[in-house]
Every structure is written in structure tokens, then in C-alpha cells.
Amino acid sequence: MSEILQVKNLKLYYSTKKGVVKAVDNISFALNKGETLAVVGESGCGKSSMAIALMRLLPRNVNTYQGSIIVDNEDISKLDEKTLRERILWRKISMVFQGAMNSLNPVLKIGFQIAEALLEHDKRLSKKEALAIAKKSLELVRLPEFIADRYPHELSGGMKQRVVIAMALVLNPQIVILDEPTSALDVITQANIINLLKRLKNEKGLSYIFITHDLAVASELADRVVVMYGGKIVEYGNAEQIYATPKHPYTQKLIASIPTLRSDKTLEFIPGAPPDLIDPPPGCRFHPRCPYAMDICRVEEPPLLTASNGKVACWLYKGDIVE
Amino acid sequence: MSITGGSKDIFDAIFRSKPGLTGVLILTIIIGLSIIALVYVPFDISSKWNDITFWQFNPRLAPPSWINFFLSKKLPETIIIGEKDFAKYDYYVETAGLKHIVLEAKLDYLYEYYPSEVNAILYVNNSNGMLVTLKWIQPNGVEIYLSRLVVNDGINPIYFCTRKDVKEGLLNTMAKLGTVPPDTIKPEVLLFSDLNPSGGFNILRGTYRFKIEAETTSRNATIDSKLIVYGRVYGLAGTDSKRRDLFVGIVWGAPVALAFGLIAAILTSFIQTLLGTLSAWYGGLVDEIIQRVTDIYMIIPFLPILITISVIYKINIWTLLAIVVALSIFGGATKTARSMALQVMNEQYIEAAVSYGASRKRIMLLHILPRLLPYTVANIVLSVPSYVFLEAALSLLGLGDPAMPTWGKIISDAFEGGAVVHGLWWWVLIPSTLIIMTAIAFAFIGLALDKVVNPRLRER
Amino acid sequence: MSNKTILQVENLKVWFPIKRLFKTPLYAKAVDGVSFNLLKGESLALVGESGCGKTTLGKTCLRLIEPTFGRLIYDGRDITHLSGKDLKWYRREAQMIYQDPFSSFNPFFPVRRILEEPLIVNGVKSKEERINRIQEALQEVKLLPIEDFINKFPHMLSGGQRQRLAIARALILRPKFIVADEPVSMLDASVRVEILYLLKELQISQGISFLYITHDIATVKYFSDRMAVMYSGKIVELGEIRKVITSHLHPYTEALIEAIPDPDPNNRNVERKVIPGEPQNPVAWPPGCRFHPRCPYAMDICRVEEPPMNEVESGHQVACWLRIKK
């Protein structure tokens, strides 16, 4: 499979009153065509910052923004703002924002809101054509055409989420970043949306970056999984490997903490709190909460080691590096 | 925490922003003025402000003396020669039964402008009338015979500028010297001019002498004198038409303006916030009544009512304050506070307090009102200038307290005294500047506070 | 009624009027005829989607919302219309833990004051006793060492710590009954279990009865003894947890369980069987069984007549025409 997106040494730091927040700290990964990469981690681990870094939708208080983002052999991080907007964003890589369904404009009809985005990108389109495309995109997300003439308040949560997905897909991107696309929805609605995402992926050969805090939901889509902790990638591998034989103690504990419905297990939890991204602990950022912490963990930061079927940043696996 | 932050946020907002700091700086200066008012002016201002004799040693309508700073030819300051500066000797002639007293004062006059007025005051005691001769000796030795008059015991002011005999004395002197007198005789000019025919009435700089020769039959009689050569500049803020030192008035205006503005703002803001919160918390009929009364209050014509009241009753400034507060206990903040209180009431900790049995009163005082405090503080700060302006405006309309020198009152006097027509800028500009500065100070602080109160402006 | 029951809910209805100009008001029937018993020391889970009325039901049980019809009997005493002193007594007996650990504390109060308030309000006069009880409560929820926390403000605590504080506040009046409204749904996965274990421990050690309101059946299994599934203001299935999960009787319960994924990488290869649609509008519930528009097994009778609650096995009740033998 070919790599459609490569991210190398991505950094995104924010300046705040209290200091520099290292939200995304030197992360690298790749996304294969037609694959879903799930990015999981607890709140404040930098997953959403990574998404906005990819889309270069940076807030005002950015301190450092570095690294390369290669889409189709082109480093989009080097492009200027205008070219990026015209050629890359929404056309090649688009995003469904967290809570986007609640940020639809309440006074505009759904169809018009989708068409608006289209017209913004393609000046040659007439309004009529744009509306026609908008209606088609509603069909794509299994919404009836008449929804185009409705206002957001007339739709249920699930329908609004479908509209938001339709908006992200309207310019036929290859890569879609999904930031917590189901976390505000009820379980049944969530399952419906996930089913839709699965179908869209197969129909259109989309590649997803699926950002979620919920490992159970992540398993619904993930081909590969990136586990983030304290702004860094701690483990990266195939879904089978991550869920069945997690290597990093954090991943192990995280998976052990998820309640399961169909099987019985004793749940575990991770004592302590996630690290402060302004002043992270020295060495491995997980060491204060890690049951296996060794002396080296407290001093030196573990590199992302290549282990069987994936990568892990943990000194426990220092011996069995497979290059 | 969607609406407001804590008191720490307020201080942060004020002291960490440029407008906030500027506002605080200006306000500190004005508060400094208020402190000066209490130290520098230790007398009861309301009884003295309208007392003409209190201000008699000041020149009339003099600009502030710091304008000399910008002038190449300095304007004269007032020179007062006190009792002790007079050289004095007396002798008693037994044969005639007459006591002679001679007083002489020296005056160095080095300015290039004439003084505005010259007066002398004679303090006479234990005489049964005294014959006094006043002489003026110019630096070049020309002696001008000013006046010969009989004075009685007590204080006898002698206004050189308006006395006929002084004018005659000047004319006689000029006649003696062979000088043609000018068209108008201005004693304060001629007394300080070169009266020689070649002199051309130019100012004569040097040491003048003022001589008083007194004769009386009483052996115990005494005479003292004071000579006042009124300058053309005075003090830090000049004087008005009643010779009053405007700096005193302006300095006194500061605490009055601040007190009026702050008290009115604090009372109205607190009452309005409280009523708004009550309205939200009780809801139903209470809410309906408070909101409707507010609607009515908001359309009541405020100024006409105030004018009517102050025309019918003679009010002092504190009564005026009470009326202003009474007329604004319902207002915009009632509505805002209501909606904010409704938002706070929706937060879970309020319901949590209900669920552990806290009473309504307790929830309101402990959990809701403190959350509205930052808003109230900002509201106070922002409404202070409007009350300062209101007081000034009412004084200007002649509805203020006549005894108290407020900034508005001073401006009002200035207009009545024709300050604008005659170019008496200091009389109008200095108090106006202070009013504007006060407003700007509070507006700046309010601007800084806006970040705390308005969540949309908050950077997080 | 057995003396094992702590709270008996009888045909409870909570209708909210929606005022309309010049028209008779409509009612949003948030809770529309619910009956169940909560046993002493038991944890009963109330499961359902948002808008099904589970939070309203929980708050009504605490008398934070006035019931429209029906009765609430707490420990043999009718509390439906308590007021004044009697209501204050009930406020000590029953407590609530909220979902949002961010807005459930007065932001101006430190931990000590947050915990002291309920004691002051309920007339614990001695300062010493109050301090003792605060320390005891912090000990119980393991906010240790106490000195580190007692003077902190809520915004200085992490989500998990705040939720512990919320539990401490609920415990400080030594209640016998606690309504926990989604106490872990806003927490991170790693902390969630810790809080659930803490609640479980308190349930067992202090014999507190819990009404655990949640949308997440997966956590229910680890905390509750019985489970009631709510749909559109009604309880549709009620029974022992394991029975409901493994041999559920109502199609809605089935749909709910089917919708929840377990962490399993094979999930991505299959599509989940999901029922279409979304919950109905509480102003106009559909006639007959409220679930029939979404039910894959709907029959004619379901569209006309509402199914009664029917005990299929001992302790396992369901309201579904499929389970009623005619």
C-alpha cells in the first residue's frame, strides 16, 4: 500500500501566560491509502492539536510550528497560505471538527451552507450547480434531498453530524480527519454514524485520521493505531497488535481500563494524572504513573523503537529492536 | 465559569494592560489632588468660598503663574509688603501734643509689565482720628504725593486705582516735571512709569518706596500698614472675577466629584444588580413586577425631573446625590444582572446547594451574588464618569450646590463671568480638563475590565 | 412493601408545561408513568439515550423537580409533597452527584468551604466537628494527603479529583441514598474506572443505595446490581444486570447493547446492526408502544396499544407485546 500522508517531526507549541505548552512534540507517522489511522489518548494529550497542525488552522498564540507534512509527495507545510487553501485544504485533506454539528449557522438552510463552502473554493461554479452538488453530497451521507431546504434546528443530532460529514466530503478529499465525530451522540446514533463512515470509506477509498479518546469506538474503524501521551507518540502499530498485545505500559493500562460488555475482565486504572505539557516530567513522560518504571526512564527520554509490527517508545523494549 | 472570573482577574486585567494602568495613573493623580485638598486647604471651604474678604489679596482674573514659564517677558506676581516689612519710627512732640509716626516700605519692582492694582491697608489703633499722608517715591527719586486723608481706628483699605486724590497727586507731579499727562489716568500704570518728559511713560524698574506719615493727638496711637501690588498671574490655576484662587476650587472639586461619582455609581450598581438577581431568583410575580418597574424607570425623563426638584427645593450636593440614586435604582443593570443570574442559576452547583438543603437566601448571597461581583465592579467603574458629568451638567444648569466649589460650578461661574468672550481660558479649561481626565481614567479602567466581564474578549 | 425497599416510585409522571400564546399549554412528558423499587444498599442503573427522561426521573426522586402525578415513598414515608422541615430532613437523607465536574462547585470556594457548606446549612454548629467530618469525607474519597487538597480551589483539581470532591460532598451528610447522574462520562478512561470502584466501595461499605444514571451499559456491568432501561419517559425493561445484558427481552435493549462496541480490532470488518431513527419528541409520543417506529419487530398491536409492564421471570420485567403470551 502506498503512503498518502507522511508526517515527520511535527511540532506545535503554544505560548500561554504560564509558559510554553508543548501540545505536539516531535511526532512522525504515515497514513496509507484507504486506511484508517486512529489517534487515541486521554484529554490533553495533544490529539486535537495534531489535527489542527495538519490542517494548519493555527490559533494566534502559536509559539513553534515545525515539521513536514507530505501529501502526495508534496510537503504542504512549505506551501504558502494561499496555495494551501486553494489546492490542498478540503480538496485533498479535510476535517470534521469536534462539535462541528453545533456550529452550523442557525439561520441558513443546510443546502446553502454546503454550497457556500463549494463556492468559496471554486469561483467558476454557479449557485445552482453548487446547490446540486450539495444535494448529491447529502445523498452520499444517506440523507434525503429535502434536508437541503431545512434549517439546522429542524434536524436531530445524528442528521446534523451527517451534514457536517457531507460538508467535509463535498470537494472529494482523499484524506479526512475526524476529530471525535461521535462523542456528543447517543450510542445508537453513534453506531449509525460509524456505519456510515465505514461505508463511505469503502465506496470512495477514503483514508481517515480518526481522533478519539474512546478505544472501543476507535476499534470500529482503525487499521492502525497511534497512541499519544503527553504530546508524544508512545506506541504506533496495527490494530490487531495494539488491541491484542499492546507493548507500551500506557497502552496496556488504557486497554485494561475499558469496560467490556460481552466479556468479563477485571478493570484496571492508571493512578495519577496526565502530565503537565508546560513542564513535562523528565525522561519518559509516563514514568510517574508507570508500574515498570526503571532508573533510565526517569532520566532519558525513550526513542520510538521499531519493534515487531510497530513502534514503541519504551525502555522495556530496548533489547529487541528490529530495524 | 462562563460569565465572570474572580477578583484576581480584575486586578490582573487592570494592572496588566496599558489602558488599565493609564487609568489607574490618572486616577492616582486625581486622588492625589483630593489629598492635597485636605492638607493644602485646611479651612471649611463651603463657608469661605463665597466670602469676598477672604480672597481680597488675590488679583482679579489672573491666569495661572506657570504661564510665565512660556513667556520671555515675565508677568508680575502679586507683591505683598506686610506690616513687619515697614520701617517705622515715631516721636511725640510735647509742645504741640502731636504724635508723629512715619512708616516706610521698600519695594523692588523688576517686572516688565505693570501690576494690575495697587492697594494699601492701614491698621489704626488708639487714635481719635489720624491725619495720614501717603507718598510714593520712584527709583529715580520722583516723589509723588498720593493722598492726605483722615483715618479712624480700624482697618482702612485704600484703593489707589480708584481714588481721586491719587490721580490728582499724579497729575500734580507730572505738571511739576512738565510732562503732558496721558489721556486716561491709570494710577497702577503711572505709579510705575517714568514720569519725566523724556520717559514716555515706560515702566521704571527698581526700588520704590512707599511712605506713610501720620499725625495724631493720641499718645498711644499706632498705625501699621500693608501694601499690596497685585500681579497679573496667580497660583496654579489662576483666579476668577471674585479673586478666588481657582486651584482651591479645583482641588476641592476632585474629592467632591469622585465622591459624588463613586457613591452614585456604587449605590446604583449594587441596587440594580441586587434587584436583577432577586428578579431572576424569585421569578414569577416578583420578576414580572421588577422588570415592568424597570421598564417604566428606564423611560422616565431623568433630567426634567431633577430640574423640577432642584428648582422647587433648594438642594445641596448630597441631597442631589440622593435624588440621583433614587431615580436610578432600576435601570439597565437590573436587566443585565437578571440574565446573568439566570445563567449562574443554571449551573449545577446551585442545584447541588438546593439538594443539600441550603436556603434561598443563602444560595443567593453566597453562590449567586459573588458571581455577579466582577460585572458589578466593572459597571461601577464605567458609570462613574457619567455621574461626574451629570453633576457638572447640573451645576452648569445652575442646579448644583451653590456653596460648594465643584468643577461644574466653576465652569458655570466662568460662563456667567464671560470667560469665553474675554478669553479667560484657565477659568474654563482647567476644570473641564479635570472632568474629562476623570472620565478617561474610569473609561480606561473600564476598558481593561471589559476583558473580565465580556467573555467574548477573554483570551484563554 | 418489604422493609428492604428504600425508595418506592409509583406511577411517577413529570410533565413540563410549554406555554403557548392564546392556546392551551402543551406538555413535555419527560417522565410518563414510571414505577420501580430501589432496595437498601443496592445500585440500580437507569440506562437510556439522552432525552429519555432519566435525569428528570433522578432529580424528581430527590425532589429537585416536582412530580406531576404519582407517589414517592422513601423508607416507608410518603415524600411526594414534603416541604419545609420535612423536606430538609430528606435533603440530608438523599444526595446527588453530577455529571459535569467543572460546574458543580462554586468557583470562589476552596475545598474546605465546599464541604463545610452542607454541614453549616444542616446545623452542625461545632467547628471542630465540621473539620473532623470534612477530613473523614476526604479520607473516604481518597483525596490524600488531606492538607494538599483542603485549601485548593476546584479549578486547581483534575477532572478525577473534582469528581472525588463531588462524591465527598455527597457523602458528608451521611446519606442513605445517592443519585449519581453520569458521574464518569466526562472523565478520561483511565480515571473512570477508579471513580466507579470508589462508588462501588462506598455502596458496599456504607450500605448506600445508588440510582446510577448513565447511557453507557458497559460501565453499568461493573457498578450496578440491577438495571432499568428507559425509553421515551418509560421504563421498558428492568432486571438483574447479567440477565438484561445476556438475555434481554426488549428490542430497544437489544439495539442499545448491539450499538456498543467492545475494543476489538475485528469490529472494523463488520457493520453493526443498528436500528434507524432517533428518539421521539416528548411533546407527542407516538401512540401504542413508543418504540414501534424504530422497532424491527413491530406488529399491528404495537401501533395501537401500549404494552403493560410484565414480569416474565422473577425479577425480570419487560414492556413489550412480543413477550406477552395471549
Question: pLDDT tens digits, residue range B263-273?
Answer: 999 999 999 99
B251/B220 same-domain check: no
What pLDDT, on a 0 to 100 scale, did the predictor assign at position B370?
84
Q: What is the mean pLDDT of each run of 10 residues along chain B (460 residues)?
A: 54 79 90 82 74 84 88 88 87 86 90 88 86 90 87 88 87 86 83 82 88 88 89 88 87 86 92 92 89 90 84 81 88 89 88 88 88 84 87 81 83 86 89 90 84 53
Domain boundaries, given as residue ranges, for chain A: 3-92+173-317, 103-172
Task: Compute the distance between CA of residue A193 and CA of residue A176 in angstroms, rounded to an integer.
Answer: 15
Please tell me the distance from the alpha carbon of residue A288 to that of residue A291, in angstroms, as a whole number: 8
Architecture of domain C5-323: 3-Layer(aba) Sandwich (3.40)
Assess contact for C122 and C150: CB atoms under 8 A. no
Question: By residue range, what is the domain housing residue B158?
Answer: 76-230
Read off φ and ψ for residue A37, nearest 5 degrees. -110, 120
Cα B108–Cα B110–Cα B115 angle in degrees, nearest 5 = 90
CA A295 to mean position of chain CA atoms: 33
B351 touches chain C (CB under 8 A): yes
Q: What are phi and psi of B329, to 5 degrees?
A: -70, -25
Residues B213 and B319 in one domain: no
Task: Kindly determine whether residue C268 and residue A221, on different chains, have CB atoms separated by under 8 Å.
Answer: yes
Q: Kindly state whether residues B212 and B252 are assigned to the same domain.
A: no
Distance CA C141, CA C167 (A): 7
With CB atoms and an 8 Å threshold, state whether C190 touches A257: yes
Boundary of a domain, candidates B230, B257, B287: B230
- The DSSP element (H or E) to which B109 belongs, if any, is strand B98-109
Residues from chain C contacting residue A186 (CB–CB below 8 Å): 49-50, 215, 278-279
- At the topology level, CATH places domain A3-92+173-317 in Rossmann fold (3.40.50)
> Is B349 close to C106, i.e. CB distance below 8 A?
yes
pLDDT at B458 (0 to 100): 45
Residues B317 and B450 occupy one common structural domain = yes
Q: In a 3-state reduction of DSSP, which class is residue A181?
A: coil
What's B171's domain CATH number? 2.60.120
Chain C residues lying within 8 Å of B358, measured CB to CB: 117-118, 121
The one-character DSSP state at C268 is: G
Q: Are C181 and C97 in contact (CB under 8 A)?
A: yes
Do B191 and B145 belong to one domain?
yes
Angle, CA B312 vertex, CA B311 and CA B313 arms, to 5°: 100
CB contact under 8 A, C256 and A242: no
Say whether residue B355 is in contact with chain C using an 8 A CB cutoff: yes
Residue B64 lies in a domain: no
User: How many angstroms separate the CA atoms of A289 and A230, rounded?
Assistant: 12
Specify if B59 maps to a domain.
no
**Do B434 and B294 fall within a single domain?**
yes
pLDDT tens, A213-251? 989 999 999 999 999 999 999 999 999 999 998 999 999
Digit-coded pLDDT (tens) for A30-78:
999 999 999 999 888 889 899 999 988 888 888 999 999 999 888 988 8
Other beta carbons less than 10 A from residue A180's beta carbon: 21
Q: Say yes or no: A239 contacts chain C, CB-CB below 8 A.
A: yes
**Measured on CA atoms in the order B9, B15, B18, B19, is the torsion positive or negative?**
positive
Q: Which residues of C touch A224 (CB under 8 A)?
A: none
Long-range contacts of B360-368 (CB under 8 A, 24+ apart): B360/B281, B362/C121, B363/B281, B364/B277, B364/B278, B364/B281, B366/C106, B366/C117, B367/C106, B368/B277, B368/B281, B368/B341, B368/B344
Spatial neighbors of C303 by CB under 8 A, at least 6 apart, are C287, C288, C289, C292
Residue with cell 428490542: C251
By Cβ distance, the residue of A158, A194, A273 closest to C278 is A158
Distance, CA of B323 to CA of B305 (rounded, Å) = 10
> In C, which residues are within 8 Å of A230 by CB distance?
none
> If we measure between CA atoms, which residue out of A210, A202, A260, A263 comes closest to residue A239?
A210
- Which residues 229-248 of chain C have a CB within 8 Å of chain A? 245
φ, ψ at B272 (rounded to 5°): -65, -45
Q: Check if C186 contacts B (Cβ < 8 Å).
A: no
H helices then E strands: how many in chain C?
11, 12
Q: How far apart are CA C170 and CA B357, in angstroms?
A: 12
Which phi and psi angles does A169 have, rounded to 5°? -95, -5
- Measured CA to CA, the distance from residue B251 to residue B36 in angstroms comes to 7
Instruction: Compute the distance between CA of residue B86 and CA of residue A67 in angstroms, rounded to an integer.
Output: 92
State the smallest CA–CA distance between residue B359 and chain C in angstroms.
8
pLDDT band at A277 (very low <50, low <70, confident <90, very high): confident
Instruction: Look up residue B300 and give its three cell numbers.
Output: 422616565
The alpha carbon of residue C90 is apart from the nearest alpha carbon of chain B, in Å, by 9
Cell, residue B140: 529715580
In angstroms, what CA-CA distances link A40 with A37, A229, A315, B216?
Answer: 10, 9, 21, 114
Chain C neighbors of B371, CB-CB under 8 A: 107-108
- B36 and B168 assigned to the same domain: no
Distance from the B357 Cα atom to the nearest Cα atom in chain C, whole angstroms: 5
- Tell me how many domains chain B contains: 2
Closest CA to B34 of B262, B244, B253, B261: B253
User: Helices B332-345 & B246-282, crossing angle to 10 degrees?
Assistant: 40
CA distances from B149 to B132, B146, B156, B212 (A): 5, 10, 11, 11
Q: Write out chain C residues lying below 8 Å of A159, CB-based.
A: 278
CB contact under 8 A, C103 and B367: no
What percentage of chain A reaches a pLDDT higher than 70?
98
Q: B423 burial class (0-12, 13-18, 19+ CB within 10 angstroms)?
A: exposed
| Domain shared by B346 and B252, yes or no | yes
pLDDT tens per residue across all 326 residues of chain C: 456 899 999 999 999 988 877 788 888 889 989 999 999 999 999 999 888 889 999 999 999 999 999 999 999 899 999 888 899 999 999 999 998 877 888 888 889 999 999 999 998 889 999 999 999 999 988 888 888 888 888 888 888 889 999 999 999 999 999 999 999 888 888 888 889 999 999 999 999 999 999 988 888 988 999 999 999 899 999 999 999 998 889 999 999 998 888 888 888 888 888 888 877 778 888 888 999 999 999 889 999 999 999 888 888 999 999 888 65
Query: What are the sequence ranges of the domains in chain C?
Result: 5-323
